[in-house]
Structure 1
Amino acid sequence: MASTAVTLEIPGPDGEERTVRVSSPDRVVYPDDGVTKLDLVEYVLAVAEPFLRWSGDRPVALERYPKGLADKPFFSKNPPKGAPSYARSVMCTYPSARAHEQLVLDEPAMLAWCVQMNTVTFHPWPVRAENNDNPDELRIDLDPQPGRDFADAVEAAFALKELMESLGFTPFVKTSGNRGVHVYARIAPTREFLDVRHGVIGIARELERRLPDLVTTEWWKELRGEKVFVDFNQANRDRTIAAAYSPRPLPGAPVSMPVAWPQLRDVTPPDFTVRTVPGIVAADGDAWAPAPGESMNDHVGDVDAAIALWDADVERGLPELPFPPDYPKMPGEPPRVQPSRAKKDAP
């Protein structure tokens, strides 16, 4: 028998109360861990302050699992039907040149409502709602390939930290919630997405030169080998990675968790779950805002320093790199043909 709906009263702005109805609160979302829909609502409310600090006021896509993780998800880019009156959205332009509204998160009740709509993972854009063509976050995704693991991504992250600091950035780090590591830096929103992507490629290529046995920028999986891939295409328009503090749809109910650099080598992804993170945040606070003046928001870098690496590589003859397959053909882009297939099809 279906469980009885639960109605929550959640504080809103200016002393207002928001009402969020959670249907089927006992429905199990994580079948191996017993985490229910209500558990996820309580989790996002427990971490709402740091969650909204980093993902609020940004267009966000919702990765939704209407039947739990046992079934396939879908992504909501348009605001879901039935959004409350206090929900905010903003018009976003996509690589196809189409434009439509996308949800913006402003308050804890919106997090709870998104979970009520079966959201597990939140995917914010690296832009602010009022200027969503110019990223204000530099995001670098370190993705260990088969044969490598989280510890390898951590080692790549420390080398990346040193490189970024030499370029004037102040990097912050989080676990991906899976096997990888995400490194962020705040940047002034002075450049559009393609420029920022080129800056990420410039950094990635320099990191690859410094750690050729560990790091790769090869887009095609068959060429990556047992290395840590720097996923430069996550810097594209309409490409996102899991939000800080967002649950991930994996066994154990893991969370993509901000971590202080001195702690990074001592943690593992399973340390951070929807059951453990509220207590960690309550005890230790937000690792990306540990004290006044130390928040990521207090350290804004200039992406031109990274773009200069790209420009230098272009002068040396290095080409543009492939774009995601659903993108329109981009200027200077190499053929989107898997290398093994290209050899097979060659006359």
Structure 2
Amino acid sequence: MTIATLGILTSGGDCAGLNAVIRAATDAAVGRGWRVLGLRNGHLGLLANPPDILPLTADAVRGDLLRAGGTILGTTTKGDPFAFPDADGTKRDRSAEVLAAIRALGLDAIVVIGGDGSMRLFDRLLTPAGIPWVGVPKTIDNDVPGTEFAVGFFTAVEVVGQALDRLASTAASHRRIMVTEVMGRDSGYLALFGGIAGGADAILMPEFAYDLDAVAAHVRRVTHDRPSPVLVVVAEGIKRPAEERRLKGSVGTAITEGLQSRTGFDARCTVLGHVQRGGSPVMFDRLLGSAFGARAVHVLAAGESSRMVAWRGGLVTDIPMTEVTTGPSFVRADSQLMRTARRLGTYVGGAVTTS
């Protein structure tokens, strides 16, 4: 496989560290004498006429790009090319147009920076077409199978931890329960890591069933049944309490109201939302992005394709895409940090949920 022109794109939700990957992949590719084209707005840029591209050079990625949040290429979570929504509400397959644009641009290989959904999409799109590609995992949810950590995760953990630091002081001042809702639709990694780092008294995750009466009893126990500062972290993907399912508002608000009614303690909810995605990446995300971007180019130069770079056991490696396209990964009940949380006396729920 001879590569003269490399395409790079970001796909799915944004996070910190994406630009570090773009910088590293560009530098590594230019160092091999390859031309590099940034593909704007994920696959949507390839559906534009003409395709929306940004030529990338070593000079273009110098300076503060490593430190910058977001992605200079733009990204998208919409417009599945296999079922692309038209203005009239119908859907049609535009995947052939994406492939035609790739060939028209003369791209010999592509680096896809995305989450587990993006890996499945581009594996379905590129692998059957014989277009060489390598995936780079990124997500604040840290739920991409096959890698211990994904780009953007530790910056989001830092945001959650710092939020808990700030909420702890106001909780202490007013002797309140402070509930913090974090992202995590299917997986609770962000809630677990951020909750432990921020000293949470209870952490509720999608993977594990919880009993709000048991959470309230835990709160009363750790506070000796008198108003005291309490920190509770809630992943957005947990099930709402049964009695709260008809109420509007976030799941964090539902947990807050349920705890207040059960304990008699004043309670407040903070939904962190998109602040978890933005901002300058922490050092580990810069390191991870740099290592992943360089490795992706190395894999392609070695003639490999349909693989994803990964962090395993403190080493950067790469794995076949068949190990990645199995759906999101989940927090395991017997994982090291789950054991850590229990040893700390943190409420983390009970049996693993199956639905």
Using the size of structure 1 for normalisation, the TM-score is 0.29
Q: Which has the higher helix share?
A: 2
Query: Which of the two has higher C-alpha Rg?
Result: 2
Using the size of structure 2 for normalisation, the TM-score is 0.29
Which one scores higher on RCO, CA 8 angstroms, separation ≥ 6? 2
